[in-house]
């Protein structure tokens, strides 16, 4: 029984792209992987602690803190899209993971609070 050739669909392209990125993560050095993981965890920790600390210390309260965090995240995304080419350096991977961890912790806190 012969196997039919796989058509080049968008789903097939997505699967091959995901496979390539997983292989890229596995080929990365131990140092780069551990720094990226630490940045994700530190971003989560900082997002939880800084938001709870700043909510009480900021003069405008919750809206000012949320607006400031939103503007900071947007600036980081815009800078990365303008400055980074196809393959980001380790510094940009660390900045991205810090941003992702902080965003995740803020969203998780919002779900816990029900807001």
CA end-to-end distance (rounded Å), the chain: 58
What CA–CA distance (Å, rounded) separates 64 from 98?
Answer: 21
Taking residue 15's Cβ as centre, other Cβ atoms within 10 Å add up to: 12
DSSP character for 114? T
Taking residue 106's Cβ as centre, other Cβ atoms within 10 Å add up to: 19
Taking residue 75's Cβ as centre, other Cβ atoms within 10 Å add up to: 10
pTM metric for this prediction:
0.69
pLDDT the model gives residue 93: 86
Per the CB < 8 A criterion, the answer to whether 42 and 100 are in contact is no
Instruction: Please list, in sequence order, all residues whose beta carbon lies within 8 angstroms of the beta carbon of residue 61, skipping any fewer than 6 positions away.
Output: 55
Residue-range domain boundaries for the chain: 29-113
**Residue 11 reports pLDDT greater than 70:** yes
pLDDT tens digit string along 54-112?
Answer: 777 777 666 777 778 778 888 888 888 888 877 778 888 898 899 889 888 888 877 87
């Amino acid at each position: 029984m012969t196997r039919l050739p796989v058509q080049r669909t968008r789903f097939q392209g997505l699967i091959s792209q995901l496979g390539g990125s997983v292989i890229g993560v596995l080929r990365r050095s131990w140092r780069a992987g551990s720094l990226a993981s630490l940045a994700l965890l530190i971003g989560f920790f900082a997002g939880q602690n800084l938001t709870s600390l700043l909510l009480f210390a900021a003069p405008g309260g919750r809206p000012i803190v949320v607006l400031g965090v939103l503007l900071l995240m947007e600036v980081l995304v815009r800078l990365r899209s303008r400055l980074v080419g196809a393959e980001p350096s380790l510094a940009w991977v660390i900045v991205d993971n810090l941003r992702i961890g902080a965003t995740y912790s803020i969203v998780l806190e919002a779900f816990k609070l029900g807001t």
